[in-house]
Amino acid sequence: MNKKILAVAVASVLAAPATALAQVTISGIFKVGVENIKVGNPAAGRTQSSQVRMDDNSSRIIFGVTEDLGGGLAAIAQVDMRFQPEGGGGPAASGNTWVGLRGSGFGSITFGRHDLHYGKQPDDLASKAGALHASAVSLMDYAAGGGGGAAGAAVAITSRTANVARWDSPNWGGLTLTAAYSFAPFGSENDMAAGANQKGNALNINPAFTASNWQIGASIWNAKSEATNAREEKANVFYGYYRMGGWKIGAAVNQSEITTAGVVSSDRRAFTLPVSYTTGAHNFYGHYTKADKDDAAGFAGADNAAKMMAFAYVYDLSKRTSVGVTYAKISNNAAASYNFFTGGGALGSPDSIPTAGEDPQLIQGTIRHAF
């Protein structure tokens, strides 16, 4: 539930007649878990195969701004601040942060940072107090045999895309369309730097149709870096779900290709089957996800397929507060090194990153409070 703070101009302070200022809303989540991470089938050189740690699950504070400009037009902006309650870290405004216009006839146009393409599968496991690490993103949005969850294996950055101009359509009887263009998806604008004679950009098209109890959608992603031939990504996701009573059953297929230095360095398909059931304050989540062997020539003869199973039980203490426990395991084949989502980056720890053939698993107890 958003807490609304309405700023109103005071006539005694302003020289001009009193005018209502923009409406500001403050919302967000605190989400922290304590987990045991264990690496099964450890490699010969591994000295640490398990640890108990406390992890942030992408806590945030969001400031939303709306100013009514009249005639159905409004100015809109958002600052999404990610932080880590357990350690006090986190860069300001690193989340979905943007500014733009919204109109009753054309939808909205925004400029800034946006989540694009990744995470489109209908996987609700991490939506309340389920562990973020256990999201199907772990396999669905990484390629090249997983790469230990490294940035080089990530498709669509698996985080916010920078330098984005985005259009979100109105809702046309259930049909919506997002079209986004990034002028430099992988970092700073370096088009004019020495050796960067390729104009980096990314395009994302995401149509979806949502009915009362079902949805189908697709996401098309095409991106290339500033440096000539350094990196190009082409990916497609097709997804959907069906609700029946307290049940929600979904499916998604992801086909991703990465080209490096002009050569296809990864070409793999992944799919996921998420299921959830809710009754009263009790929420049950699970998914089975599989990444097929990579078909790129560089992986010829390498068995880098992987599969993942995850389960979570979440109990709602109120509409805003929930607690949960999650179990998840990734089974990597001999040449695969898929890792839990965010498990090796700012929200994880380097010693938990799997090498080829290792099988990470976790048990996490989580508390989440939304405001």
pLDDT at 351 over 80: no
Q: H/E element holding 114?
A: strand 107-115
CB contact set of 219 (below 8 Å; sequence gap of 6+): 117, 120, 204, 205, 206, 235, 236, 237, 239
Q: H/E element holding 321?
A: strand 321-332
At 11, is the pLDDT very low, low, confident or very high (cuts 50, 70, 90)? very low
Handedness of CA 178, 176, 128, 338 (dihedral sign): negative
Give 309-341 pLDDT, tens digit per residue: 999 999 999 999 999 999 999 999 999 999 999
Average pLDDT over the chain reads 90
**Other C-beta atoms lying within 10 Å of the C-beta of residue 337:** 27
117-121, 191-195, 196-200 — which is least confidently predicted? 191-195
At 26, is the pLDDT very low, low, confident or very high (cuts 50, 70, 90)? very high
- Give the pLDDT of residue 62: 97
CATH architecture of 32-57+114-370: Beta Barrel (2.40)
Which DSSP symbol is given to 358?
A: -
Give 78-129 pLDDT, tens digit per residue: 999 999 898 777 767 889 999 999 999 999 999 999 999 999 999 999 999 9
Give the pTM.
0.89
What is the token pair recorded at 300? 């010829």
* Centroid of chain to Cα 293: 23
298-302, 346-350, 361-365 — which is least confidently predicted? 346-350
Give 199-224 pLDDT, tens digit per residue: 789 999 999 999 999 999 999 999 99
At 226, is the pLDDT very low, low, confident or very high (cuts 50, 70, 90)? confident
pLDDT at 10 over 70: no
Give 41-56 pLDDT, tens digit per residue: 999 988 888 999 999 9
Q: Where are the domains of the chain?
A: 32-57+114-370
- CB-based burial of residue 194 (10 Å sphere; 0-12 exposed, 13-18 middle, 19+ buried)? exposed
